[in-house]
C-alpha cells in the first residue's frame, strides 16, 4: 500500500509537536493533538498578553477583552451562528449539556418526554436521567439500525405530543455513524419539540452550519478540535437563551446585586459566571482558524479516505469484526474474536500505534452490541496511509500472538 500525500498538497504533521518520532496516533476521537499555532496562542495569552477580561480599565485588560470576544466571533462564524451572542463558553460539551438540562430543563413538567438514541455518549444520557429524577420526566430511547446508525424512521415515530426535546449525536463516538440532522430537526419541530445536537465528533471533522442543520442547541469540546482542554461551546438560538434562567451564580453574570435580590446579564454572559477560561477561548479560536485554513471539506474527504483504507485492510483479517457503517466519519471500531480490546491496545502500543480500548463512555451501546468493549482507531488531519499500514500490521501481529486466523 503506497503512502498517500496528506491532504493532497499539504503535509500538516510537522505542525504538531506531540507527534514527534514514528508514532501512529489514532485516538483523535478521545482528544486531538495540538498544532504549534494553538500552543503559541495559549503561551501568548498566559505570557505577554495576560490580563483579566471585562473588568479592567487599563489597556492590556481592554486588549485581552477584545481578544476574548473576538474568539467568540470566530466560533460563531465557524458554526454559522446568527450572532456571537449565541455562543456560550463552557468547560466542554459535558458542561454544555448539563447547562441546558439544568436551566432550560427546569421548565419541564412531570410526564414531559426527552428522546435520545441508543448510541449516545454518557454525557448525553446522564444529565437527562438526573433531570428525569428531579422533574418526573420520561426518557425515551430510539433504536439503531443493523449497521449502527440511529434508526431515524423509528426515532421520528417516537416523537409524541409530550416530547419536549430530541437530543442526538451528529456522529457516534464509537461507530462513526452520521445522523441526518435536518430530517430529525424537521420532525422534532413539527411536533413542537426542540433539537439538541452533540457535535463533539462532527465539528472537528466536517463543515457545520447550525442554522442549516435546523438545530436549537449544539455543543462541542475544544480539545477534540485541536484546541485546549477545559473549553467548549454551547450554541443556542438567541430567543431560547433569552428565555433560560442562570444555572450558576457569581461574578460576571449579573447586572445588579442587592441583598433583596439580583438581576442578571443578558446571554451569553448570563451563563458564564466567574472569571472565564480566557486562554482557553483564545486557544480555541486559534484551533478554529487552523482547521478553517485547511478547509473542513478537505479534512472530511481526507479522513473518509483513511477510514475506507483501514476498513479494507482490517476487513481482510478473518478474526476481526468491524463495527459501524462503511461511511463512518473518522472512526473505526472493531473487535477480535477471543481477544480483549485492552490486550489489542497494549500490543499495538508496543508497536508505536495508539488506539483507544474500552466502552468509550457508551456502556448502553456496548450492551446493545453484546461486547464488553471495543478497540477504536480514530483519525485526524495529521494521519496518513502509513498509519493505516501500521495499524493493519499491528492487528495481524495480535492475531498471531493469540492464535487467530489472519
pLDDT score for 21? 83
| pLDDT, average across residues 278-306 | 97
| Residue 7 banded pLDDT, cuts 50, 70, 90 | low
pLDDT score for 1? 41
Residue 297 reports pLDDT greater than 80: yes
Averaged pLDDT of the chain: 95
| Residue 8 banded pLDDT, cuts 50, 70, 90 | low
pLDDT score for 9? 57
| pLDDT, average across residues 397-403 | 93
> Which range has the worst mean pLDDT, 93-107, 173-187, 320-334, 392-406?
392-406
Residue 336 reports pLDDT greater than 50: yes
361 is catalytic: yes
Residue 3 reports pLDDT greater than 60: no
| pLDDT, average across residues 59-70 | 97
pLDDT in tens, 230-274: 999 999 999 999 999 999 999 999 999 999 999 999 999 999 999
| Residue 20 banded pLDDT, cuts 50, 70, 90 | confident
What percent of the chain is predicted at pLDDT more than 70?
A: 97
**55 or 362, which is more confident?**
362
Sorted by where each starts, the structural domains of the chain and their CATH numbers stand as 13-30+295-401 (3.90.1150.10), 39-293 (3.40.640.10)
Task: Please identify which of the residues 361, 366, 368, 371 carries the catalytic annotation.
Answer: 361
Residue 10 reports pLDDT greater than 70: no
Alpha-carbon distance 30 to 187, whole Å? 31
pLDDT score for 201? 98
pLDDT score for 22? 85
What percent of the chain is predicted at pLDDT more than 90?
A: 95
pLDDT score for 51? 97
pLDDT score for 406? 45
pLDDT score for 56? 83
Amino acid at each position: 500500500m503506497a503512502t498517500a500525500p496528506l491532504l493532497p498538497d499539504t503535509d500538516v504533521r510537522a505542525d504538531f509537536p506531540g507527534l514527534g518520532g514514528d508514532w501512529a496516533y489514532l485516538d483523535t476521537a478521545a482528544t486531538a493533538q495540538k498544532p504549534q499555532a494553538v500552543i503559541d496562542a495559549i503561551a501568548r495569552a498566559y505570557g505577554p498578553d495576560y490580563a483579566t477580561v471585562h473588568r479592567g480599565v487599563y489597556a492590556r485588560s481592554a486588549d485581552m477583552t477584545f481578544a476574548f470576544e473576538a474568539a467568540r466571533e470566530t466560533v460563531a462564524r465557524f458554526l454559522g451562528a446568527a450572532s456571537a451572542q449565541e455562543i456560550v463558553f463552557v468547560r466542554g460539551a459535558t458542561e454544555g449539556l448539563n447547562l441546558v438540562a439544568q436551566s432550560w430543563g427546569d421548565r419541564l413538567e412531570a410526564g414531559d418526554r426527552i428522546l435520545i438514541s441508543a448510541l449516545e455518549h454518557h454525557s448525553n444520557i446522564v444529565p437527562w436521567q438526573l433531570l428525569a429524577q428531579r422533574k418526573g420526566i420520561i426518557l425515551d430511547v430510539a433504536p439503531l439500525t443493523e449497521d449502527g446508525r440511529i434508526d431515524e424512521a423509528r426515532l421520528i415515530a417516537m416523537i409524541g405530543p409530550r416530547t419536549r426535546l430530541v437530543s442526538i449525536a451528529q456522529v457516534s463516538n464509537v461507530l462513526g455513524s452520521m445522523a441526518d440532522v435536518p430530517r430529525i430537526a424537521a420532525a422534532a419541530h413539527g411536533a413542537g419539540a426542540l433539537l439538541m445536537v452533540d457535535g463533539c465528533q462532527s465539528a472537528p471533522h466536517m463543515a457545520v452550519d447550525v442554522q442549516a442543520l435546523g438545530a436549537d442547541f449544539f455543543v462541542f469540546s475544544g480539545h477534540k478540535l485541536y484546541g485546549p482542554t477545559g473549553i467548549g461551546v454551547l450554541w443556542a438560538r438567541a430567543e431560547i437563551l433569552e428565555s433560560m434562567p442562570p444555572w450558576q451564580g457569581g461574578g460576571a453574570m449579573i447586572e445588579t446585586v442587592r441583598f433583596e435580590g439580583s438581576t442578571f446579564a443578558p446571554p451569553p454572559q448570563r451563563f458564564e459566571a466567574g472569571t472565564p477560561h480566557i486562554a482557553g477561548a483564545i486557544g480555541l479560536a486559534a484551533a478554529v482558524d487552523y482547521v478553517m485554513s485547511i478547509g473542513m471539506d478537505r479534512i472530511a474527504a481526507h479522513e473518509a479516505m483513511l477510514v475506507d483504507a483501514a476498513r479494507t485492510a482490517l476487513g481482510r483479517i478473518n478474526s476481526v469484526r468491524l463495527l459501524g457503517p462503511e461511511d463512518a466519519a473518522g472512526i473505526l471500531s472493531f473487535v477480535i474474536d477471543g481477544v480483549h480490546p485492552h490486550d489489542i491496545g497494549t500490543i499495538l502500543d508496543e508497536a508505536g500505534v495508539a488506539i483507544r480500548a474500552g466502552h468509550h463512555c457508551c456502556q448502553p451501546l456496548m450492551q446493545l452490541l453484546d461486547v464488553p468493549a471495543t478497540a477504536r482507531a480514530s483519525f485526524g488531519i495529521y494521519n496518513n496511509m502509513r498509519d493505516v499500514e501500521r495499524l493493519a500490521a499491528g492487528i495481524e501481529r495480535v492475531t498471531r500472538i493469540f492464535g487467530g486466523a489472519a
